[in-house]
Amino acid sequence: MAKQEEVSVPIFSSLDPVYGEGSQLDEAKTRFDVLKSKFNQVFDAAPQLFARSPGRVNLIGEHIDYEGYSVLPMAIRQDTIIAIRKREGQNQLRIANVNEKYTMCTYPADPDQEIDLQNHKWGHYFICAYKGFHEYAKSKGINLGSPVGLDVVVDGIVPTGSGLSSSAAFVCSSMIAIMSVFGENFEKKELAQLTCECERHIGTQSGGMDQAISIMAKTGFAELIDFNPVRATDVKLPDGGSFVIAHSLAESQKAVTAATNYNNRVVECRLASIILGIKLGMEPKEAISKVKTLSDMEGLCVSFAGDRGSSDPVLAVKEYLKEEPYTAEEIEKIVEEKLPSILNNDPTSLAVLNAATHFKLHQRAAHVYSEARRVHGFKDTVYSNLSVLDT
């Protein structure tokens, strides 16, 4: 049997295999009827096809995917559905929504267009997928011909800004819809990597967990998601277990606040990893050029711990990264280079530097290394409990 990441996106002609039976299927049928009606109302035509991707909840492995470490999420019932059709001879992308809160967005049918990050619009997430698909198709030598117009209607029921990856569900369903309407079907591992990369067009330095689980989820299982390369391993949870997802109703706009929140953590982890490299014997220029994530430094940190009778990389963090926040000047003195240069003058990283007054390097590194171990500890505990139940 092919591994989950090595199969293509399944294609269905009915809703039953996707939504099961009972009230969940009835609700889905109603949504699709409303979506079709909305499409016809807005565009005076029927959609060619539909695509869907679910949101997710992460069981364990918070803020470590962008450092290359495994995470353990599972998909949820709430999803985003895209209805789409091609408009040959047209040069406009028209993106509508069943929710009247979101007004129609229009864009040129231009794969090379830049996304205006200073003017955030909900339709930008579709453009992330649109740009990413064309970039990837070009890299694979696929000739898509001249750009054509697309009509799109979106129906998303993943609560926005709730930490359940509504943006990834939107980008992934958009990517599948665009891919399908152009007659392509890539393997899931390709789509997981591609959607992670293309969501970065919106300005967040995504690590890939949200997109990977939305693409590779399997009914009845959580998934252990590994990276470099991306792959998924089914994790069967004990029967009878329940997970309560409590929505606080607070909304976090990840793309809007990236410079002070999400991307800030990514930058802090990068700086922590470089300083650890230098403290553990690397030349500053070598560390800057070779060290990208804390996972790159795990070997040296474990070696340091091994000399002290341990295998815990956090020992190196405690030894070499002070608990008090660092200023930019303190970091630059250690690495012997200006921070913008270290971060390759990347616009999203520069936005972090402009917004930050200090950097919590100790806290970030300690969390990443300890959380990475907890993920595998959780998986091993689940497996051992299942083994006990089976005996």
Q: Is 210 considered catalytic here?
A: yes
The 3-state DSSP class for residue 55 equals strand
Helix (H, G, I), strand (E, B) or coil at 94: strand
Give 236's contacts (C-beta < 8 A, 6+ positions apart).
220, 221, 382, 386
* Structure tokens given for 267: 């930058």
Q: Which of 151, 210, 234, 346 is catalytic?
A: 210
Tell me how far apart the alpha carbons of residues 45 and 84 are, in angstroms, rounded to a whole number: 10
Question: DSSP secondary structure string, 232-251?
Answer: EEEEPPPTT-----------
Angstrom distance (rounded) from CA 339 to CA 327: 11
Strands (E), 196-318: 222-226, 231-235
Rounded CA Rg of the chain: 22
Q: Residue 345: which residues within 8 A CB-CB, separation 6 or more?
A: none
- Residue 138: partners with Cβ closer than 8 Å, 6 or more residues away: none
Q: Which residues contact 378 (CB under 8 A, 6 or more apart)?
A: 59, 60, 72
Asked whether 178 and 150 are in contact (CB, 8 A), the reply is yes
Helix/strand number for the chain, H first, E second: 14, 7
Going along 240-284, which residue ranges are E strands?
A: none
Catalytic positions: 210
